[in-house]
Structure 1
Amino acid sequence: MALAMKVISQVAQQRKTLEEAVTTALELAAGKSDGAEVSVSKTTGIGVSTRYGEVENVEFNSDGALGITVYHQNRKGSASSTDLSPDAIARTVQAALDIARYTSPDPFAGVADKDLLAFDAPDLDLFHPAEVSPDDAIELAARAEQAALKADKRITNTEGGSFNSHYG
């Protein structure tokens, strides 16, 4: 349970950081465009693979990205970055604005009317982080491969076993 609480705390902090990135991007685009849409993502997790009961690969990852689409005079420009620093966000917004200058006008491009947008998303209770240590993940991957080998004597080789757990 301690691991889950730590993960939940980390996710809360990451959410705050992502919300700040969105706010920064929207503020930078506000004075230079007719409207903007921003999306952010953050994924964290572990991937383990074993072969013949031996560890083949252990990967920890923490990936994030920000994408922005700006609309200016019926023209649309989009850009994205995996760097969420304020300077990178400013460069990404500017790139989207620059791209919009060169696209063809589209009278139907733009942000949807506010009355068509959803603001109160229900909590669907979908976040349940796995409390699995790297050692446990390795054991689970090795056991999966062993189960395949024991299932039928004709199975003499495998591509190994794997365990993956990610949230974001």
Structure 2
Amino acid sequence: MSDLFDQSALASRAEALVEAARKAGADAADALATRSVSLGTQVRHGDLEEMERSETDVLGLRVLVGQRQATVSTRDPEGTGFASLAERAVAMARSAPADPYAGLATADLYAHDLPDLDLLDRTEVSAEELVARAKAAEEAGLSVAGVTNSGGASASWSLSGIVLATSEGFSGRHMGSRHSVSFQAVAGTGTAMERDYDYTVAAYMDDLEDAATIGRRAGERAVKRLGPRKIETGRLPVVFDPRVATGLVGSVAGALNGSAIARGSTFLGRSLGQKILPDDVTIVDDATIRRGLRSHPFDAEGIAPRRLALVGGAS
């Protein structure tokens, strides 16, 4: 499994792809190589229902001819077709419409000193360990009084990483890991059945919550849903479950997305500097959190991350 952590071959291919693009006539180019490895298991009533493993390496090339650009991708592991791929990409770019915003990042934006964000857990996880973890969650959930069935338990492990090389001289790589456990419980019987779930996910296996805790909490949540009552119509306070927070933040982040603003498809298109949430709500995009699930030392263009206050606060 140790070879999966070695990105040196991917880095060489990315650099070779950029060089092929320059030889084909591109004014500028960048190549992004991605690696994705995952292993997942699912059990139900103590039996293994599904096990899946995948390993994928993909290289993407972006070429620019003036302010015209094109993007192509390949899974060629040896690079034997890089020259013809780059030629086709350059031909596509010459036929594309000019984009005044197309271009590589400027040198001052590149991440030169990559921070150690501790994103990669090198713990080797076996399928047997994942099955045992899923079974532990399910057993704990089924032991909760009122839980009548299992919707299934799962446990997974994955690696993902990128290598970026640009014609402007930037070269960088990073990789991260992810572990997870989840369980879905069913409570009640007949038409009065309810279901709920719980999960834990972390970059490091040691940071996961105990699988049995996940199972019990899912079972307790399902049982609490039993016997819902109808309330009279009126103006009432609303209390959101903590799990709803990501959905609310996601809706705001989607509305603030640059492409949505450019297309005019967002309700926040003209809200810069305006109050859109209560004063005590701050939404911050910070990709530098140690062991953060979305943290990274540089983005897909090689730009160094920084803490950005999207709503309230100060960057």
TM-score for both structures, normalised by structure 1: 0.83
Q: Does residue 1:11 correspond to 2:5, yes or no?
A: yes
Distance 1:47 1:89 in 2: 33
Report the equivalent of 2:47.
54
Larger deviation, residues 89-98 vs 156-165: 89-98
Compared CA separation, residues 131 and 152, structure 1 to 2 (3 A)? farther
Distance 2:81 2:52 in 1: 26
Distance 1:104 1:48 in 2: 46
- CA apart distance, 1:43: 1.6
Report the equivalent of 1:160.
152
The structure 1 residue matched to 2:12, chosen from 16, 20, 23, is: 20
In terms of fraction of residues, the more helix-rich structure is: 1
Distance 1:162 1:90 in 2: 44
Report the equivalent of 1:3.
none
Q: Does residue 1:150 correspond to 2:152, yes or no?
A: no
Q: Kindly report which structure 2 residues correspond to 1:95-110, keeping only aligned pairs within 5 A, or say none.
A: 95-110=88-103
Structure 1: which 5+ runs fail to align? 1-5
Distance 2:81 2:142 in 1: 49
Secondary structure at the aligned position of 1:25 is classed as: helix
Compared CA separation, residues 144 and 27, structure 1 to 2 (3 A)? same
Distance 1:160 1:89 in 2: 45
Compared CA separation, residues 81 and 152, structure 1 to 2 (3 A)? farther
Secondary structure at the aligned position of 2:150 is classed as: coil
The size of the alignment, in residue pairs, is 159
Aligned-residue CA RMSD (Å): 1.9
Secondary structure at the aligned position of 1:151 is classed as: coil
Letter in 2 for 1:93: A
Distance 1:38 1:109 in 2: 15
Compared CA separation, residues 69 and 144, structure 1 to 2 (3 A)? same
Compared CA separation, residues 116 and 100, structure 1 to 2 (3 A)? same
Letter in 1 for 2:5: V
Secondary structure at the aligned position of 2:148 is classed as: coil
Report the equivalent of 1:139.
132
The structure 2 residue matched to 1:77, chosen from 51, 57, 70, is: 70
Distance 2:84 2:158 in 1: 29
TM-score for both structures, normalised by structure 2: 0.47
Distance 2:14 2:99 in 1: 25
| Identical residues among aligned pairs (%) | 29
Compared CA separation, residues 49 and 91, structure 1 to 2 (3 A)? farther
Higher RCO, 1 or 2 (CA under 8 Å, sep at least 6)?
Answer: 1
Letter in 2 for 1:115: D
Letter in 1 for 2:156: N
Letter in 2 for 1:64: D
Distance 2:127 2:142 in 1: 23
Report the equivalent of 1:65.
58
- CA apart distance, 1:91: 4.5
Letter in 1 for 2:151: E
Compared CA separation, residues 90 and 56, structure 1 to 2 (3 A)? farther
Report the equivalent of 2:273.
none
- CA apart distance, 1:88: 4.3
- CA apart distance, 1:26: 0.7
Compared CA separation, residues 80 and 157, structure 1 to 2 (3 A)? same
